[in-house]
Amino acid sequence: MKYATIKKEDLNRWLQHLQKRARLYAPKKKENLFIFRPVKDVNEITLKYIPTILPPKKYYFPQKEKLLKFTLKPFKTAKAIKEFEEYILFAVHTCDIAGIQCMDVVFRDSPEDPNYLNRKDKMTIIGIECLEYCDKFANCTSMGNHVPRGGYDLMMVDLGEKFILHINSEKGEKLIHGLDYIKEADEKDMLSLERAREAKKKVFKEEFNASLPVVYEAFDKRFNSDVWKDVGRRCVACGNCTTVCPTCYCFDVMDEMGLSFNEGMRYRIWNSCQMDDFAKVAGGEDFRKGRDTRQRHRYYRKFKYPVDKFNRYFCTGCGRCTRACMAEINLVETVNALLAEKGEQK
Amino acid sequence: MIDREILLEKMKTSPYKPMRGKIMESRMLTEKEKFFRIELEGKINLGHEPGQFVMVSIFGYAEAPISICSSPTDKGYFDLTVRNVGVFTDKLHKLGRGDIVGIRGPFGKGFPVDRMFGYDLVIVAGGLGIVPLRSLIRYVTYNKNDFGHVQILIGCKTPKEFLFQEETKEWMKRAEIKLNCTVDKADPEWKGNVGLITTLIPGVDIFPARTYGVVVGPPIMYRFVIRELLNKNIPEHQIIVSLERRMRCGLGKCGHCQVEGLYICQSGPVFDYSQLKNFKGECHEKAA
């Protein structure tokens, strides 16, 4: 059984079943926005949501994560976390799944990061495919993340009265196994899925004025473009864009001492390349002093450097950086402005 | 995708866990720089390349990247020399013989000594640049049969900031080494050259095709020294530099040491100029 279906009225039953299997995280409304939260009551879950304030990255790359415990006398260090907990991320958009794939590539790259790998190992992803745009800020179509491209255990698509589930792993299969209200998909269901995807093609259009290879080329040629100076002039260096980005993973390391001042914990905490001391060294030299150079760095870390290194764009198209920007710096507008520039500014 | 078995094995160990390092010896070299000799648990060798760095932990104060200033041929211990510039280094300066620090590493790529065999060397050290270069100089003097002529140019602001003065005198005594020093500003006792380090370069006599130029110093120095070395016709890939960045992890993840597409902690800190010149604007060490 590669595809299954579940009636909408049975969804809460299934969610209660999932709750018993592992810790369940799902999107929930918070004022006029949405957040991923541990599910207490399945009725709180919302399936129609614009990308959450923070991506689910907070569960596999926590804001403040224990790295090490230590004692000073006698000098001893040990891994801080012995057991990682099984968890299910429910109703994850395809853009955020692409974000998880990007993080996988980074943290699997040698030398591997065991904290991330351990959390990833315990993760089950149940995705949901968007059939319409969340809002005007997304650029998922240009990035090719408006449709599922692997990286999940189950993928749900809304077919009106029911959801069709794509079973993409053994882990996913186990979550629906033996439940009489989840049925194998028949030909009619498959046809409806095909129709939904066809209809989607009319809604989702590339947001950039050129295809990705052309965008890459623009980045390659226009490192010293005025576009960066303009973005830098507007940027207030608050770091919102990097905090909400599903593929930003820069961190700082800090220690906290216990009350005895003999034992303590070493943490890694999220850090942002937009902060003014991010690339400063002991001698006082700051290698990205201007906000323009820091914003440019952020963009290049999405559209150029990871493409060279991993053949993967690190913009998922979720639109969070644009939504969260206090200075109204818009990613689609910035990329299109760069595309509109003529010639080379290497 | 990588093999799951290998992955599971790697998940058991943590690259963030430091080794125990005991300070065996420490002394002030100048007003601001302190020298430390460190022994790892079980007297194991660090096994580094000249030019690599370690992450030094003082628990409660976090961690900082420090370049190793001893040669891998110095067995059973390694040396660090640290300038007091901030909270972490101030605390490190307060430590002495018998104190324990955490050590991770060595990290990065060191000086390409295997490629430098059979070549003459021009080593240019500005200010603290002599610290990582001491690892190379000690390596070269230990393996002296493998290298040609070695010319060392050392520059610093004032005679008071001159590091490793006693050792420098010993290097000067060696037949295969020619050493020249200069200070930006002399004091009454100083009898050597006065002026920027670039003024020493036109005077060095080299056969460019068989010479490696190795430069370490503050960013501003690179721009001018590299130009002088290029003027001497040393090929770009034979001009070696080491870049200073403030690494937090050493594993190519945390992002602090990134210069354009490269993480200095993994791809560097040592580069040759043919790599450096491809940087577009974030590498302040690129020649003017």
CATH number, domain containing residue B163: 3.40.50.80
* Interatomic CA distance for residues B26 and B86, integer angstroms: 19
Say whether both A55 and A161 belong to one domain. Answer: yes
Q: Pick A255's closest partner by Cβ from B60, B282, B284.
A: B60
> Across the interface, do A293 and B100 touch by the CB < 8 Å criterion?
no
* Interatomic CA distance for residues A295 and A99, integer angstroms: 20
Query: Which B positions 207-246 lie with beta carbon below 8 A of chain A?
Result: 218-219, 244-246
Say whether both A150 and A245 belong to one domain. Answer: no
Say whether both B121 and B151 belong to one domain. Answer: yes
**Do B204 and B153 form a contact (C-beta atoms < 8 A)?**
yes
Q: How confident is the model at residue B223, as a pLDDT?
A: 87
**Residue span of the structural domain in which B77 resides:** 4-106
Over residues A226-244, mean pLDDT: 95
Probe site for chain B from A73, A75, A224, A243 (most B CB atoms < 10 A): A75
Say whether both A51 and A14 belong to one domain. Answer: yes
| Residue A267 forms part of a structural domain | no
Say whether both B169 and B185 belong to one domain. Answer: yes
Chain A: nearest CA to B55, how far in angstroms? Answer: 12
Chain B: nearest CA to A245, how far in angstroms? Answer: 15
Full strand arrangement of the beta sheet holding A23-30: A33-38, A23-30, A87-93, A123-128, A154-158, A162-167, A3-7, A182-184
Q: Are strands B120-126 and B63-67 parallel, antiparallel or unpaired?
A: unpaired
Cβ contacts (< 8 Å) between B280 and chain A: which residues?
223-224, 346
| Residue B227 forms part of a structural domain | yes
Amino acid identity, position B52:
Q
- Whether residue B203 is predicted with pLDDT greater than 90 in this model: the reply is no
Say whether both B126 and B150 belong to one domain. Answer: yes
Cβ contacts (< 8 Å) between A262 and chain B: which residues?
none
Chain A: nearest CA to B255, how far in angstroms? Answer: 5
Cβ contacts (< 8 Å) between A75 and chain B: which residues?
20, 100, 102
**Sorting pLDDT into bands at 50, 70 and 90, what band is A339?**
very high
| Residue A111 forms part of a structural domain | yes
The answer to whether B20 contacts chain A (CB < 8 Å) is yes
Say whether both A159 and A46 belong to one domain. Answer: yes
- Whether residue B174 is predicted with pLDDT greater than 90 in this model: the reply is no
Chain A: nearest CA to B76, how far in angstroms? Answer: 20
| Residue A346 forms part of a structural domain | no
Burial class (CB in 10 A: 0-12, 13-18, 19+), B235: middle
| Residue A224 forms part of a structural domain | yes
- Whether residue B55 is predicted with pLDDT greater than 80 in this model: the reply is yes
Probe site for chain B from A77, A83, A106, A275 (most B CB atoms < 10 A): A77
User: Which residues are CB-neighbours of B183 under 8 A, at least 6 positions away?
Assistant: B155, B156, B157, B158, B159, B162, B190, B192, B193, B194
Among B106, B139, B164, identify where a domain stops.
Answer: B106
Say whether both A227 and A168 belong to one domain. Answer: no
Among A203, A235, A269, identify where a domain stops.
Answer: A203
| Residue B184 forms part of a structural domain | yes
> Across the interface, do A108 and B7 touch by the CB < 8 Å criterion?
yes
Q: How confident is the model at residue A173, as a pLDDT?
A: 94
Q: What percent of chain A has pLDDT over 70?
A: 100
| Residue A68 forms part of a structural domain | no
CA A218 to chain centre: 25
CA distances A135 to A69, A91, A130, A203, Å, are 44, 18, 11, 12
Say whether both B163 and B272 belong to one domain. Answer: yes
Say whether both B123 and B266 belong to one domain. Answer: yes
* Interatomic CA distance for residues B126 and B225, integer angstroms: 10
Q: Pick A253's closest partner by Cβ from B62, B245, B259.
A: B62
Say whether both A245 and A151 belong to one domain. Answer: no
Q: How confident is the model at residue B12, as a pLDDT?
A: 67
Over residues A300-328, mean pLDDT: 95
| Residue A259 forms part of a structural domain | no
Cβ contacts (< 8 Å) between A79 and chain B: which residues?
14, 17
Pick the residue from chain B with its C-alpha nearest to A68.
Answer: B17
> Across the interface, do A117 and B253 touch by the CB < 8 Å criterion?
no
Q: Does A312 or B277 have the greater pLDDT score?
A: A312
Which two structure tokens, joined as six digits, stand for B224? 């001018």
Say whether both B39 and B91 belong to one domain. Answer: yes
Say whether both B214 and B268 belong to one domain. Answer: yes
* pLDDT 10s digits, B107-163: 999 999 999 999 999 999 999 999 999 999 999 999 988 999 999 999 999 999 999
Say whether both A232 and A150 belong to one domain. Answer: no
Q: Pick B86's closest partner by Cβ from A70, A223, A282.
A: A282
The answer to whether B14 contacts chain A (CB < 8 Å) is yes
Question: Which of B249, B17, B9 lies closest to A106 in space, CA to CA?
Answer: B249
Bridge partner list, B262: B259
| Residue B245 forms part of a structural domain | yes
Say whether both B164 and B242 belong to one domain. Answer: yes
Among B62, B85, B106, identify where a domain stops.
Answer: B106
**Residue span of the structural domain in which A316 resides:** 212-252+279-340
Chain A: nearest CA to B192, how far in angstroms? Answer: 26
Mapping DSSP to helix (H, G, I), strand (E, B) and coil, where does residue B135 land?
A: helix
Query: What is the number of domains present in chain A?
Result: 2
Say whether both A160 and A245 belong to one domain. Answer: no
Q: Does A78 or A307 have the greater pLDDT score?
A: A307
Burial class (CB in 10 A: 0-12, 13-18, 19+), B94: exposed
> Across the interface, do B62 and A255 touch by the CB < 8 Å criterion?
yes
Say whether both B200 and B93 belong to one domain. Answer: no
Say whether both A52 and A176 belong to one domain. Answer: yes
User: Which residues are CB-neighbours of A284 under 8 A, at least 6 positions away?
Assistant: none
Say whether both B249 and B139 belong to one domain. Answer: yes
- Whether residue B288 is predicted with pLDDT greater than 60 in this model: the reply is no
Among B106, B129, B145, identify where a domain stops.
Answer: B106
* Mean pLDDT estimate for chain B: 90
* Interatomic CA distance for residues B213 and B225, integer angstroms: 10
Cβ contacts (< 8 Å) between A251 and chain B: which residues?
248-249, 253-255
For B224-282, the DSSP string reads HHHHHHHHTT--GGGEEEE-----SSSSS-S-TTEETTEEHHHH-BEEEHHHHTT--SS
| Residue B118 forms part of a structural domain | yes
ipTM of the complex: 0.87
Amino acid identity, position A7:
K
* pLDDT 10s digits, A37-77: 999 999 999 999 999 999 999 999 999 999 999 999 898 88
Among A170, A203, A236, identify where a domain stops.
Answer: A203
> Across the interface, do B282 and A107 touch by the CB < 8 Å criterion?
no
* Interatomic CA distance for residues B281 and B259, integer angstroms: 9
Find the largest Cα–Cα distance for chain A.
69
- Whether residue B5 is predicted with pLDDT greater than 80 in this model: the reply is no
Say whether both B159 and B185 belong to one domain. Answer: yes
Mapping DSSP to helix (H, G, I), strand (E, B) and coil, where does residue B193 land?
A: strand
> Across the interface, do A77 and B284 touch by the CB < 8 Å criterion?
no
> Across the interface, do B85 and A282 touch by the CB < 8 Å criterion?
yes
**Sorting pLDDT into bands at 50, 70 and 90, what band is A286?**
confident
Probe site for chain A from B66, B258, B279, B286 (most A CB atoms < 10 A): B258
Among A181, A203, A225, identify where a domain stops.
Answer: A203
Say whether both B263 and B150 belong to one domain. Answer: yes
> Across the interface, do A251 and B252 touch by the CB < 8 Å criterion?
no
- Whether residue A253 is predicted with pLDDT greater than 80 in this model: the reply is yes
Half-sphere exposure of A270 (CA within 13 A, CB side): 21
| Residue A37 forms part of a structural domain | yes
> Across the interface, do A271 and B255 touch by the CB < 8 Å criterion?
yes
Amino acid identity, position A226:
D
Q: Residue B22 sits in a domain of what CATH number?
A: 2.40.30.10
Say whether both A234 and A89 belong to one domain. Answer: no
**Do B88 and B117 form a contact (C-beta atoms < 8 A)?**
no
* pLDDT 10s digits, A125-171: 999 999 999 999 999 999 999 999 999 999 999 999 999 999 999 99
Amino acid identity, position A13:
R
The answer to whether B98 contacts chain A (CB < 8 Å) is no
| Residue B281 forms part of a structural domain | no
Query: What is the number of domains present in chain B?
Result: 2
